[in-house]
Structure 1
Amino acid sequence: MEFLQCNAPAPVVDTEAGKVQGYCTDEGISVYKGIPYVANPFTPERRFQSPQPMQPWQGIKVTVSDWPVPQPGRSPAQRLVGRAGDLTLNIWRPGNAEGKLPVMVWLPGGAWIREDATESVYDGSVFAKKGVMVVTVNYRVGVDGFMHFAQRPDNRGIADQIAALKWVQHNIANFGGDPDRVTLFGQSAGAGSVAIILGNPETKGLYQQAIIQSPPMQWLSPAEATRITRQFSDNLGIPADPEAVAKVSFDDLVQNVLKVGEQIKDATQWGRLSLGGTAFLPVADSKIIVRSPMEDLVMNDSNRVPVIVGSTDSEYRLYLMPGSELQKITDKDLRAVINELSLPTGAFQAYIKNSISAENPGDVYAQIMSDYTFRMPALYIAQIMSRNQNTWFYHFSWRSPAYNGLLGAAHFVDVPFTFGTLHTKEAENFVGINPPQSLSDSMNDAWVGFAKYGNPGWPKYSDKDKKTMFFDTKSYLGTLGDQQITTLWENFRF
């Protein structure tokens, strides 16, 4: 549901840097869009540096609109979207709330090269109507967020997210939120970010629980990241240093981000990096990421908070649509990706047996890549975290009718159900025109229950019984199957 602005503005609220005033919707939700939390990181003196505190302003800043950071558009007609400026976040809260509200902080995804905290599908109004405050965060991506330079800090986009969490701790009480009841959640690169933050002991106390939706756990070594930077710079004919890159226009930068993403698909030159889907990934910098995102998650004892983690059944189908790639894949491609991933003998036969359609190599390929990119990382996170903390595991199994039913339970299809934004124009591309409202209600209620009471409403996961919530038209509690498949990944290093 898209909400209209009403005539009355939302209350003026004090933040550490100054006063802000948003607007209220016709359903009584107070909305603040575009609150600065970090000083503009695109200026010459701050470019490619760690986030810096926001400078105070005078008077009341009107916060009724927002924009993402510079990034590629999603169509050739939009070469560049977003703009440089202060980093911002957005807040939805019930206008008549009393007492301290639980807070959910959302990190949007976008393959580390895109993010937009004000996309209509991330509207927090449904959460707010149920008594939960939602904060959505913009952060640096692509070149500014994740390109590796030897003399600059890595993982600047993650550092931005951590700065936003600190902002929440210092300011959210003024909006009626409880800084001691913060649930950090995200999807795709946002979920990978949540996992990285959970693995970093210095973030202890910035949140009390987390939700990880379809986490990609790929990462780069400094040597791999250096190679990406060199390729990026060679494309532009400039030195591979921050001063030279900073002189390039944002339009050319983001177009080159896409170009490098295509170049690394050549497996003969880039090996397993060709399977990552993007050239810009978090870097093991020995600071924010000490070993790898997954290993840090295993080793860190300080952030043992309650966690929900899960994935969709057919994640990778999103990337094989709508360009008909699904129909172009051959058995040769299947064997090549299995070889690249060094999966054990018998993997080809196991995936043929367990695929949606063994007759179509594209369906089998989609399942292998779904497991590599999202599903097995989610399962592994559930396994390791359930041994030390309350953990709930889920699968999103509803098959979308989009693209003549070929999209299925793909990546991102679960997000509009999570937020209750099924009927936004953006969501219709993924869920069709008549998605089941009851499924959205059950998912959103589960997330609200977790934020409010620390329990989504189904039994915790354990290695012993593997209890899993399957979200579908008729959701049900089941046991994770495909043991033959999961065994193939037991020794894989994510």
Structure 2
Amino acid sequence: MTADQTGPVVITPHGAVRGRYEHGIAVFRGIPYAAPPFGPRRFRPPQPPEPWDGVRDAGAFGPTAPKPPYSEAFARYLSDPVIPGDDCLNLNVWTPEPGPGARLPVLVWLHGGALTRGSSAVPVYDGRTFARDGVVCVSVNYRLGVEGYGLFPDAPPNPGLRDQLAALRWVHETIGAFGGDPDQVTLCGQSAGAISTGALLAAPATRGLIRRAVLQSGPPEASDRDKVRRMVRRMASRLKIPATAEAFAAVDRDLLLRTQAEVGRLSSPVLGGPAFGVVVDGDLVPRDPLLALLDGDAAQGVQLLMGWTRDEYRLWFVPGGLLEHIDRLGPVALAAAMARCHAGHEVPRAYRALHPDAGVAEIVGQMVTDHLLRAPLHRLADARPGTSYLYEFAWPSRLPGLGACHALELGFVFDTGEVPESRKLAGEGAPQELCDAMHSAWVRFATTGDPGWQAWDASHPVRIFGDGGPYTAHGPRDAEIAVWSTARTVTEPGPASRIRAPGAEWAGAVRRLRRSAGARRR
């Protein structure tokens, strides 16, 4: 490493980059880890970037991956900057000690956004606070939506996940020059970033690249291939083209994004529907990631920190007034939730008994959250006791109705509660002491593998981050998780004797609820 009047310079395998000193931290933004994924590289696995001569300026965030904007209802709460340009496979590094020899722990951040939105340029994800506390922070851009997760007969699956693998390999080969230790890498992600983290954990190609991992609000999972194909086919139908990568590559990029947004309008993490996702491909993802991790033949020795928010579902239900609409729909909403979870009537009955004062929306939201998120993370912790740590973020937003919703915890994790983009979800007056506690737990985990509370065992310890100081509760979700261990799994709507809503009524409930959600997002 060298430095001049304008900032530190670090040599990477593809050329030198010059960063900036900000608040005593060396920051390098927009470093390409792969070539622009367009032209002949469209829908293909990432390729190394072209080497450059001289010193490349790394003072500003690089281009973001193509993505549609959030709807007006969600844009009130979530920020998603757009930076134009083709060179979107880039990453950022914050380090307190640029140059070889420091051997500091490394945290690699994969943003969320349903694999269709988000970027490393979101101000909430400022890695300066981790570097301030002795951890080199790397945040990554990767391909999104149909560009990154479309399933085509003439292109390899999962190019967006392959981008993330390329970034991990870049970190392993290069982070030592920035002061990081390539043998102490913690891979972290939230929502879609956590799903990606789980898939990469289970991938044989990442062995030796990951020492620890954090999964926040996302389980290891693979999407149904038919579900992803339906997204592609519906886009192709609207565009009047074949459902092939070659045909999609010839479509105007803005038109492709508009079509993707329209086709995905009725999809929801809670309500389901066609969506893009990581799929089993027989190569990078040879089998379902959760099953691979439960079997213990993947990510052996990797320590896990896993968490959720108390009211995940409220981010999808509150914008546009869907929360009240679900309460009014009553049985229709419950039927849709049972369809989403392939569950019989005994499940909502059990939730009603556990939460007699809850409204229909809360029953639906918690039921789906437990089925899709908390139960898989419980299973994973049960399979890896002693090296797994679980937590729940329970502090409620100061904004009406949001509660402790999905993504609210991120300003606390990054200790960036003061930035306006954090206040869009948290409101005014987020407690700094809670930021300190949450951020410190992640720093400790990335540094030592111990976030500061009891590892998972038969007593099921869960750290609660809410009003007041953090505390450990034992089995706070056990009663709800137990419902799923005894529930009947329904793969198709069955006879009236088993499922009272006939198949057509069941499917109609889901369609009506999704249409309501879509109408309120516009």
TM-score of the superposition, structure 1-length normalised? 0.90
Letter in 1 for 2:455: K
Partner of 2:134: 131
Change (3 A) 1:264 1:397: closer
Letter in 2 for 1:350: A
| 2:64 counterpart SS class | coil
Letter in 1 for 2:321: S
- Residue deviations 1:348-395 (CA, integer Å, cap 9, x gap): 22222334942x212222212322343223222222232xx6111111
- Residue deviations 1:248-290 (CA, integer Å, cap 9, x gap): 122111122222212557xxxxxxx983366111112122222
Higher alpha-carbon deviation: 393-402 or 130-139 = 393-402
Partner of 2:189: 186
| 2:182 counterpart SS class | strand
Among candidates 58, 65, 70, match of residue 66 of structure 2: 70
Letter in 1 for 2:13: E
Partner of 1:468: 462
How far did 1:156 drift? Answer: 0.8
Would you say the 8 A contact 2:296–2:383 is kept in 1?
Answer: no
Partner of 2:353: 353
Alignment of 1:456 onto 2:455:
no
Higher alpha-carbon deviation: 346-355 or 157-166 = 346-355
Would you say the 8 A contact 1:185–1:191 is kept in 2?
Answer: yes
Identity %: 37
Alignment of 1:56 onto 2:51:
yes
| 2:186 counterpart SS class | strand
Letter in 2 for 1:237: K
Alignment of 1:227 onto 2:221:
no
| 1:38 counterpart SS class | coil
Change (3 A) 1:342 1:173: same
Alignment of 1:13 onto 2:10:
yes
Q: Map 1:80-91 onto structure 2 (within 5 A).
A: 81-83=82-84, 84-91=86-93
Would you say the 8 A contact 1:439–1:471 is kept in 2?
Answer: yes
Partner of 1:177: 180
Higher alpha-carbon deviation: 303-312 or 481-490 = 481-490
How far did 1:321 drift? Answer: 1.9
Among candidates 90, 97, 102, match of residue 99 of structure 1: 102
Hey, what's the Cα distance between the residues in 2 that align with 1:413 and 1:455?
23
Change (3 A) 1:80 1:194: closer
Alignment of 1:286 onto 2:289:
no
Among candidates 324, 328, 333, match of residue 327 of structure 1: 324
Hey, what's the Cα distance between the residues in 2 that align with 1:297 and 1:254?
34
Partner of 1:444: 439
Hey, what's the Cα distance between the residues in 1 that align with 2:98 and 2:288?
44
- Residue deviations 1:59-81 (CA, integer Å, cap 9, x gap): 10001112311101124699994
How far did 1:115 drift? Answer: 2.4
Partner of 2:164: 161
Hey, what's the Cα distance between the residues in 2 that align with 1:481 and 1:203?
33
| 2:27 counterpart SS class | strand
| 1:71 counterpart SS class | coil
Would you say the 8 A contact 2:374–2:481 is kept in 1?
Answer: no
TM-score of the superposition, structure 2-length normalised? 0.86
Would you say the 8 A contact 1:71–1:80 is kept in 2?
Answer: no
| 2:454 counterpart SS class | coil
Hey, what's the Cα distance between the residues in 1 that align with 2:384 and 2:140?
25
Hey, what's the Cα distance between the residues in 1 that align with 2:42 and 2:238?
21
How far did 1:234 drift? Answer: 0.3
How many matched pairs? 473
Partner of 1:250: 253
- Residue deviations 1:155-181 (CA, integer Å, cap 9, x gap): 111111010000001111111111111
Would you say the 8 A contact 2:272–2:340 is kept in 1?
Answer: no
Change (3 A) 1:472 1:356: farther
How far did 1:424 drift? Answer: 0.9
Partner of 2:122: 119
Hey, what's the Cα distance between the residues in 1 that align with 2:83 and 2:275?
20
Alignment of 1:34 onto 2:30:
yes
| 1:45 counterpart SS class | helix
| 2:485 counterpart SS class | coil
Partner of 2:377: 378
Would you say the 8 A contact 1:468–1:479 is kept in 2?
Answer: yes
Hey, what's the Cα distance between the residues in 2 that align with 1:80 and 1:235?
27
Would you say the 8 A contact 1:187–1:215 is kept in 2?
Answer: yes
Partner of 1:23: 20
Partner of 1:196: 199
Change (3 A) 1:144 1:96: closer
Would you say the 8 A contact 2:88–2:142 is kept in 1?
Answer: no
Change (3 A) 1:340 1:246: same
Hey, what's the Cα distance between the residues in 2 that align with 1:460 and 1:126?
26
Hey, what's the Cα distance between the residues in 2 that align with 1:481 and 1:418?
22
Hey, what's the Cα distance between the residues in 1 that align with 2:262 and 2:285?
27
Hey, what's the Cα distance between the residues in 2 that align with 1:337 and 1:240?
31
Hey, what's the Cα distance between the residues in 1 that align with 2:448 and 2:81?
42
Partner of 1:269: none
Change (3 A) 1:377 1:257: farther
How far did 1:423 drift? Answer: 1.1
Hey, what's the Cα distance between the residues in 1 that align with 2:452 and 2:477?
24
- Aligned-residue RMSD, C-alpha: 2.4
| 1:275 counterpart SS class | coil
Letter in 1 for 2:89: L
Letter in 2 for 1:348: P
Would you say the 8 A contact 1:140–1:160 is kept in 2?
Answer: yes
Change (3 A) 1:89 1:294: same
How far did 1:82 drift? Answer: 4.0
Hey, what's the Cα distance between the residues in 1 that align with 2:80 and 2:273?
19
Structure 1 residue runs without a partner (length 5+): 1-6, 266-272
Would you say the 8 A contact 1:70–1:82 is kept in 2?
Answer: no
Partner of 1:390: 387
Change (3 A) 1:107 1:211: same
How far did 1:310 drift? Answer: 1.2
Hey, what's the Cα distance between the residues in 1 that align with 2:5 and 2:129?
20
Would you say the 8 A contact 1:396–1:472 is kept in 2?
Answer: yes
How far did 1:489 drift? Answer: 1.9
Higher alpha-carbon deviation: 216-225 or 155-164 = 216-225
Change (3 A) 1:401 1:393: same
Hey, what's the Cα distance between the residues in 2 that align with 1:369 and 1:120?
30
